[in-house]
Structure 1
Amino acid sequence: MRRFHLNRHDDVTGVSGTGIVAQGVQFDNGKVALTWLTERSSVTIYDSLIDLEAVHLHHGATSLVWEDAAH
């Protein structure tokens, strides 16, 4: 299991703001859980990191930052 956060540089949608906007974890089976640190928080489960990146990284407007070393 590996923890990460999303660091938003440019708020493309005008919803989440900038800075650290979400925290997540990638499980050993590849599934990913993400929770938003916004006023209207939610938790979403993705089948893979690729799926999360496709939806939330906005072509470089947001970075995924690992908090734990890969194992």
Structure 2
Amino acid sequence: MFDENYPVIDDWMITGGRVFISKTLEESANVIFEGITGYNEFNRTQFRTYGNPTRLKSDKDLLWVRSMV
């Protein structure tokens, strides 16, 4: 949202892609970035990420993941 009282921040972020159980968040971010840009050597700043490899426990979660494939 644009507001004249705040500066425009010229920043980039990458969205899209899936984090699979077999990969960490960092590995997934690298795969997504390389897939989009073609670069495998890059610097990145990660401010905060929440994730847990065992986050998919309920049948509802697993059903949602399977529907995305």
Higher relative contact order (CA 8 A, sep 6+): 1
Q: 1 or 2, which has the higher strand percentage?
A: 1
Which has the greater radius of gyration?
2
TM over 0.5: no
TM-score by length of 1: 0.27
